[in-house]
Amino acid sequence: MSYVMRHRISDEGTTDLLNMLNAIDPGIAPRSKYLLKKALGADVREPEKHFYCLYCKGYLGQETCTKQVFCENCNRDVDLAFCSFFLVMPLKEQLQRILAQKNLKWLPQRARGDTIQDVFDGIEHARLCADFSDDDISLIWNTDGIRVFEKSTFEIWPVQCQIAQLEPAARKQNMLMPALWFGFSKPNMTALLTPFTEELQQLSTGFSCMKDGKEVNVRVFAAACSVDAAARSAVRNCKKFNAFQGCSWCYHRGGKSYEFLDTAPERRTARKHVADAIKGTLTAPCKGVTGPCLAMTLPRFDVVDGFIPDYQHCACLGVMRQLLKLWLKSKYHKCDWYIGTRTEELNSLLLAITPPTEITRTPRKFEDMLYWKASEMRALLLFYGYVVLKPVLPLVYFKHFTLFSYGVYLLLKAEITQQDIREARALLEKFVVQMGVLYTARNVSYNVHQLLHLADSVETWGPLWATSCFPFEGRNAVLLGYFSGTQHVGEQIARTFVWWQHLCLWADKIEEEEERSFFERMVGRQTIGRTGVVLPGDVVGYQRQSCSSPDIRLEVALENHLGLLPTQITYYSRFQCNGILWHSETYNMPKRVNCVAELEDGTVGVIQALASFRSTPQLLVLVEKLELVRTVPFRDLQLGISFLAVRERRRTAVIVACSPSALKKKCVAMECTPESFLIVALPNQVERD
């Protein structure tokens, strides 16, 4: 069944596959996809249909035997036969399936430390979970529209949730989808969120389920909502971001320009928002609020701080894309910042970069920037910009860009200190101030203004990567693979989603290692390749080289480290350690470089090989050290902030040996002169854009 769903095989194709299996071994499989599903899942419930009014899109309720219902929103009788509906998959049932799975990777409960490492270290999450037991759950939720067909306005709007108590990788693998809206128009958020909020009110009191083989009582709360600006205004029942007082977190006067104010605007609070919601209407908003919203009814949810300025839409698709348009669009050809006549030089610099596999897309030309994804904007913002823009962009504008780049970088680190937050706040504030000076006040957009709230968001909810929309957007792409044809798209997606959850639960019953490995590959969870060799210390080796050393320097480094050179050595040019894939410098992968690493002691080097020995279980990574050319190539003298994560280095031909566990961070290496590289470490090893 996992094979059928992974490869989106049609009903007819599935029937042919089953008939072929039965022809080889009669009676080994059911005769059709319908019988296969029936044999596998007699307990798989159909998604619930919830109707909304044909005239006003008001919520009418769940499907019943009653043909006519009264719409309280527009005061008229409505025939359900002519009404549209959306689909609901109860959270309780989804959580019961997920919690029943074996080997789920849960984060241990811990007190807030000196550094911010995840959602739990945020002030707001600590308040929410003050009385949590080890079994209680908090959710990060999202909703967004996805265009299904290229030449149609048909969209789906899933409501999705992540379980914050799971490890980051497990959060992505175990997404919840409590509701799915579909159709040719945008949803009425009150209708879409009614079943979701009502169920969370019930789940906040607790429900019984199986976890780790024992029955427990679980309470569930909505912690934070991560959505783009357009969806946020709809969920909060507020004016759009480009309207008067359209900011979700402060009372800036707003409008088309969010120019920096000498006196900081007053902060919004949940109490003030409720008061504004009571007074506000669609025709007469109160401080940008047009009325109450269902988010106000969620237990313990803060209707202001519970919403997060998502950096994917704000920084990557927002400010970074805006800057590219200012620099390259021909309508700005008379402006000092215009560099559109030098796109060939920009392309040459950009296309020469070979990123690590954590940056999912390789660089493409600036002419295609209108089609760049958020991950490509992110890579230019955090890494490529230092090399690509410095030779081309006028110095004052390049320095301004680096304020933005490093400010966001600091808030994406794996461990964020209070000093990092102070520096990021200062850098981003200066960027916003200078945006109006350098690019004129009309270009200080709402996305630029949101940068002022990013540092507060990290203090409240943890690193930007922990609450970003990237995982939800990635899941949206998966949902688009859950249907075939053009009919009953919403029902197909919802049913397939539920079936995937059941398959993951049933997989716990698979005992044969080969069968389990096949299933893990079908659901995209396989962590060890089929050619991998499991080595000591949870290291997996690939691409074994000959036992004779390819470079005498490697043997010298091993002898210096061990004192005595072992007689039988196996070298690997590709290996995996702690879930991170590393390559040697000689590994042939033209568009990727996974060999530049920062070690625990701060050393940066190029991996030459992984060495294993028959006589001892010890493993050693051989690394050529890179020395600093300049201590700090980028800094802001006015603020007194040095960009320590961005360093220029050159080769030394000195090779050292270290344990695989000493590999701390993977780095992006970009040639800045014929003799040196600009090295930027990935801010964290968790995020996959």
pLDDT at 233 over 60: yes
pLDDT band for 273, please (50, 70, 90 cuts).
very high
**Gap between the Cα atoms of 498 and 303, Å rounded:** 30
173-195 residue pLDDT tens: 999 999 999 999 899 999 999 99
| pLDDT recorded at residue 62 | 87
353-362 residue pLDDT tens: 999 999 989 9
322-378 residue pLDDT tens: 999 999 999 999 999 999 999 999 999 999 999 999 998 999 999 999 999 999 999
176 within 8 A of 161, measured Cβ to Cβ = yes
239 within 8 A of 252, measured Cβ to Cβ = no
Question: How is the chain split into domains, by residue range?
Answer: 49-62+81-308, 310-439, 533-681
- Average pLDDT for the chain: 90
| pLDDT recorded at residue 82 | 77
25-69 residue pLDDT tens: 888 888 777 777 777 665 678 899 999 988 888 999 887 767 788
| pLDDT recorded at residue 76 | 85
**Gap between the Cα atoms of 672 and 678, Å rounded:** 6
| pLDDT recorded at residue 187 | 94
pLDDT at 518 over 90: no
Beta-ladder partners of 416: 116
520-561 residue pLDDT tens: 777 666 555 556 788 888 899 987 765 555 678 888 999 888
pLDDT at 80 over 90: no
Of 333, 324, 306, 305, give the one whose Cα is nearest residue 404. 324
Backbone angles phi, psi at 176, to 5 degrees: -105, 150
pLDDT band for 98, please (50, 70, 90 cuts).
very high
pLDDT at 400 over 80: yes
542 within 8 A of 530, measured Cβ to Cβ = no
pLDDT at 628 over 80: yes
pLDDT band for 689, please (50, 70, 90 cuts).
low
C-alpha distances in angstroms, 10 versus 5, 33, 501, 502?
9, 9, 20, 20
Residue 362 corresponds to which amino acid? T
405-454 residue pLDDT tens: 999 999 999 999 999 999 999 999 999 999 999 999 999 999 999 999 99
**Gap between the Cα atoms of 190 and 41, Å rounded:** 33
| pLDDT, average across residues 657-669 | 95
> Per-residue DSSP letters for 519-533?
HHHHTT---S-TT-E
| pLDDT recorded at residue 223 | 96
Q: Can you give 60-73 as a three-state secondary structure string? A: EEECCCCCEEEECC
Residue scoring higher pLDDT (581 or 530)? 581
The 10 Å Cβ neighbour count of residue 502 is 17
Helix (H, G, I), strand (E, B) or coil at 298: coil
Q: What does the CA dihedral 634, 636, 641, 645 come to, rounded to 10 degrees?
A: -20
115-161 residue pLDDT tens: 999 999 999 999 998 889 989 999 999 999 999 998 889 999 999 99
pLDDT at 208 over 60: yes
| pLDDT, average across residues 304-318 | 97
| pLDDT recorded at residue 8 | 73
Distance from chain centroid for Cα 413: 14
- Count Cβ neighbours within 10 Å for each residue of 367-380 and write b for 16 or more, e otherwise: eebeebebbbbbbb
Percent of the chain past pLDDT 70, that is, above it, reads 95
Of 248, 247, 245, 244, give the one whose Cα is nearest residue 295. 248
Domain 533-681 maps to which CATH number in 3.30.410, 3.30.2000, 3.30.70, 2.30.30? 2.30.30
